[in-house]
Chain A
Amino acid sequence: MGLVLDQVEIRHGNTVIVAVDQKIAPGEVLTVMGPSGAGKSTLLNYVIGRLSNDFSASGAVVLDGIDITRLSTEQRRIGILFQDDLLFPHMSVAQNLSFGLRPEGGRADRSKKIESALAEIGLVGFGDRDPTTLSGGQKVRVAMMRMLLSEPRALLLDEPFSKLDMALRDQMRALVFGMARQRSLPVLMVSHDMADAVAAGGQILNLRG
């Protein structure tokens, strides 16, 4: 179980950009650190199935015992959060959540799930709101919940807290890591911030530039 990066090696031409051989157990966080240009986002793109044609890669990504290396992004069941909330601006809060919710279930059933999801992140009654009217913390919570509703089996975090102000950061760290632990999701986080790694409390992988 968990997320395994099995002898992953990503090359640009003949140059090896990233070489990783790691296992992330359910509920644990692997923090990848390193200067810009060290290949952090290249690694994320590879894990999510978006590696650009300019790169070549060997090795495998294994999720819960299944080799997902050749699957498309939408088939991988890996959730991702970026430093921006990236809520879809043309959808209401509830529509954003239901875009994430897996397609099973009837109308009534789905809207009940959305209601309880809103309740879980403390946003009861916010369903019809325009995402732009939410506070920074509320947006992160909606983005997080939208991803969780798609029932991912692993979680990628791309500098997820770097744009939040200090006061909010601790709160959001606690929330995101708490929810991941609660659902037993292996987490791969890319960050510049040592405090992120400390809060995550897992292994740290340093990529050289």
Chain B
Amino acid sequence: MSLIPNFRLFPTITIGLLIVPVLAGLVWTALPAFGHLPAAGFNGPNLQIFTDLLGWSGFWPSVKLTITTGVLATLLSTLIAMLILSAGAQSGGFQALRRFLSPLLSVPHAAAAFGLAFLIGPSGWIVRLFSPWATGWDRPPDVAIIQDPLGLAMVLGLVIKETPFLFLMGLAALGQTDADRSMAVARALGYGETSGWFKVVFPQVYRQIRLPILAVLAYSLSVVDVALILGPNTPPTLSVLILRWAGDPALDGRLMAAAAAMVQFLIVVLAIGFWRLVEVVGGLLLSRSFAAGRRQPRGRWVSDIGLSVGAILTALVLFGLLILGVWSVAGFWGFPNILPDQTSLKTWARLGPAIVETFADTAVLAAITVGLALVLVVGCLQAEVGQNRRPGAGAMVFLYLPLLVPQTAFLLGLQTMMIQLGFHSGLLPVIIAHLVFVVPYVFVSLSDPFRAWDPRLGVIGAALGHGPVAVLLRLRLPMLLRPILTAAAVGFAVSVGQYLPTLLIGGGRIATLTTEAVALSGGGDRKAIAVWALMQTLAALLPFLAAIVVPAWVWRHRKGV
């Protein structure tokens, strides 16, 4: 027996760990949806629950809302991200946005949504700024600016978070294409900056960000926390309905939730099919434009619009965080004053002890999850070493599977399965549920730097008499300290931001900063919401700070690392 870990097992273990919960969850969602829950005396299969669901008056409006908000958010995020990329790395606005967008990515969805609500809501900063002198309002207007029936606020809440994600994924993809020289050729042929970029660079980039875009689509169609905070209530999106029904103590609710989750799964599958259609049509239009050969040399303004929209989105998140800060120290704050009439630390003092405890729980949960994820991901990447082989497109789909299947569809089933099989909800199941979402992001973040490590250093290490494990632990990983910590920070932010897995799999017994913050969304305690959302943001941002500071300090005498 060798004590050397067999790295070839890691990909199998990792993919299993991602696939088994997703598939098992789907099966256990499907069974009750088709009326089969023997433990509760339901013996299916039958379509009774679907008949009930489809007959319920709120069903179709909810389906319509789910699809329109999810697809619109994805289309807008993709379009804006690509327009920003097309502005080109040379432009100053691009570099400034790049610096801002990266940290924005780590701001949890819920915190960004709360910030946005406090900014654009009826008593938000924007209305206050124009009241009463321009609007005539001396009280917060009774207008549904947020939670509007069309779900536009919710779409905006998704776009401010998904655009930076797609932008950064596109930026990483750009690094693997010959963008600069392709652009030089296109410009030399007389194509405008924007037109040339979309005709020459975009097709190369798009191929590599397809899966991230589909992940955004699936996420936007099934998001819960943003929908609770910014989405409408009459009716809400399907995912909110599912969560509401799942919490129903009567069994009928669980069955309805399961059936609705299956519908949501179907919606995501169809939406991915629809996106494929968009790709085909887009591809056809693009090839026709190749043939037409129009140069559009003065089309630069299109990219500039992208940059401006990107700047606005960035400002919305930043000012959202700022107003969360103001609310957290607000005393009495009358309308339409721009700043609170009094400031006080009462809210912080009131919530302090609870926050410290929850902060610690959140951090421990995230740290364990990220630690496990790093072991798995490093193991998978090490398995490629010397194999001269990388995971193919198929393996990457497996990696993205947890991000492509709507959370509601498999988490609900996973919860049902745990209850049925007598597993106790607790820390371990929640860690596994978080791991399913954390591993893909850690892998995506770490794989490029890990593979870019000069293999000759490994040859030297081996030639000096050191085995693969020593080369990994003493050479490769220490040299990759910074990307490893960055990947850990990404994973940490993902874990901190998880709402549904924590709530459903934790059985309400595991409280994190996110579950506590979102739980307040129904009430009106803005000061408490602000404090929780700020701490949630802090928990996600601190590891990124550590990822910059720690390597700089550890290797302060080693300029070559």
Contact = CB atoms under 8 A, between A and B. Distances in A.
Interface of A: 48, 50, 52-54, 72-74, 76-80, 82, 84, 86-91, 99-100, 102-103, 130-133, 146-147, 150, 152
A94 to B, nearest CB: 13
Interface stretch (B221-229, B473-481, B483-491): B473-481
Contact of B463 (A52, A78, A84, A89): A78
A147 B459 CA distance: 12
A35 B16 CA distance: 47
A80 B457 CA distance: 11
A72 B560 contact: no
Nearest to A53: B388
B460 to A, nearest CB: 5
A74 B248 CA distance: 62
Contact of A147 (B457, B464, B557): B464
A89 B464 contact: no
Contacts of B478: 90
Nearest to B474: A99
11 contacts: A48-B459, A54-B388, A73-B463, A74-B465, A74-B467, A87-B560, A88-B479, A90-B478, A147-B463, A147-B464, A150-B463
Nearest to A81: B460
B557 A73 contact: no
Nearest to B467: A74
A102 B466 CA distance: 10
B454 A86 contact: yes
A83 to B, nearest CB: 10
A40 to B, nearest CB: 15
B561 A86 contact: no
Nearest 4 Cβ contacts at the A-B interface = A89-B560, A73-B462, A132-B560, A132-B559
Contact of B558 (A74, A90, A150, A152): A90
Interface string B438-466: 00000000000000001011011111111
Contacts of B555: 90
B69 to A, nearest CB: 48
B561 A84 contact: no
Contacts, number: 77
A73 B557 CA distance: 31
A38 B317 CA distance: 57
A90 B464 contact: no
Given A90-B561, A130-B558, A130-B559, A74 B462 contact: yes
Contact of A130 (B467, B475, B481, B560): B560
Contacts of A131: 560
A144 to B, nearest CB: 12
Given A86-B456, A89-B561, A131-B560, A50 B386 contact: yes
Given A130-B557, A130-B559, A77 B454 contact: no
Contacts of B457: 86, 88
B560 to A, nearest CB: 3
B465 A77 contact: yes
Contacts of A84: 456
B463 A53 contact: no
Contact of B465 (A52, A88, A89, A150): A150
Contact of A150 (B387, B389, B459, B464): B464
A158 B559 CA distance: 26
B560 A53 contact: no
Given A52-B388, A150-B465, A82 B456 contact: yes
Contacts of B479: 88-90
Contacts of B389: 53
Contacts of B462: 50, 72-74
Given A48-B463, A53-B387, 16 more contacts: A50-B462, A52-B388, A73-B459, A74-B464, A74-B465, A74-B467, A82-B456, A86-B456, A90-B478, A99-B461, A99-B464, A102-B465, A103-B465, A130-B558, A133-B559, A150-B465
A86 B465 contact: no
A160 B465 CA distance: 21
B460 A80 contact: yes
Interface of A is mostly: loop
B558 A80 contact: no
A152 B460 contact: no
Contacts of A79: 463-464
A88 B475 contact: yes
Contact of B459 (A50, A77, A89, A146): A50
Nearest to A91: B558
A50 B461 CA distance: 13
A94 B388 CA distance: 33
Contacts of B459: 48, 50, 73, 80
Contacts of B456: 82, 84, 86
Interface in B218-239: none
A141 to B, nearest CB: 15
A15 B561 CA distance: 41
Interface in B519-561: 555, 557-561
Nearest to A80: B463
A79 B386 CA distance: 19
Contacts of A86: 454, 456-457, 460
| Of listed B462, B464, B557, residue having the most chain A CB within 10 A | B464
B527 to A, nearest CB: 47
Contacts of A102: 465
A80 B555 CA distance: 27
Contacts of B388: 52-54
A77 B467 CA distance: 12
A90 B480 CA distance: 10
A74 B475 CA distance: 15
A61 B555 CA distance: 41
Nearest to A73: B462
A4 to B, nearest CB: 19
A73 B466 CA distance: 9
A110 B412 CA distance: 60
A39 B409 CA distance: 54
Contacts of B466: 74, 99
Contacts of A72: 462, 467
Nearest to B457: A86
Nearest to B454: A86
Contacts of B465: 74, 77, 102-103, 150
A78 B463 CA distance: 6
B559 to A, nearest CB: 4
A90 B556 CA distance: 10
A52 B475 CA distance: 22
A131 B465 CA distance: 21
Nearest to B463: A80
A76 B474 CA distance: 20
A152 B561 contact: no
Contacts of B557: 130
| Of listed B456, B465, B466, residue having the most chain A CB within 10 A | B465
Contacts of A89: 479, 558-561
Nearest to A143: B460
